[in-house]
Chain A
Amino acid sequence: MADEFIKGLGILTGSGLAWLVLASWYRTSSFESTQQLIEPLSSGATEGLFNIIAVTLMDVFLWFALLGALTFWVLIPAGHQIMSALEERRNAQ
């Protein structure tokens, strides 16, 4: 269980940090904005190869953080629980 915990934490924090940096570059107009990190893309974000790569990576990192944490903290432990429950039922019969 501990293995899954640290894997999920590592993915969430690492990937989340990368998303945070990119979102602060491309989706934050000012420090007084009420929609920091979730604004529409700033102008010029789709010009040039590097900007396009960065904007794509921003979404990739966000989903990787969310799905990674979900997988390691919920899906895999739940799978283990189900497997052990089935095993027990089989043994009991």
Chain B
Amino acid sequence: MSEPQQQQVNLGSLSLEQLQMVREQVEAEIQQLSESIQQLKHASNKYIEAKEAMGGLKGTDGKDMLVPLTSSIYLPGKINSNEKVLVDIGTGYYVEMGIEQGQNFSNRKVQLITEQVNKVQTAINMKRQNLESIVQVAQSKISLYKQQQAQQSQQQVQQK
């Protein structure tokens, strides 16, 4: 589906108040996108940890382990099988997978997230450029205003 139409704004035609509004909007958008990147990286780390955990299962067939019942009570147990894991693939669905298959799943997720991070970073860079344009236009307007003020002052002096 198409994104809502991005509004094109001719910065030169805006007043200083309007430029300030647009500037604040762009800054808010940058902040939001930055937070998105943090969340994506956090999710990516989870998948990496999961992959490492699955890797740690190899060669552990029949080994002793402790099963946590609560945060302070454990039961002794044995690993029955290290060939299968149950993977949460989203929206309440779980699939039984071999360890290699599960690790491939994690790899795919990390790759997808990396792609998204790159897209968001590109968007941030673009908005930062927009922000610089806004600041430049605002500054040139201020300079022009001061120039006009100075000229008016001179005219008034000459009239006296």
Do A and B share a complex? no
Residues of A at the B interface (CB closer than 8 Å) are none
Residues of B at the A interface (CB closer than 8 Å) are none
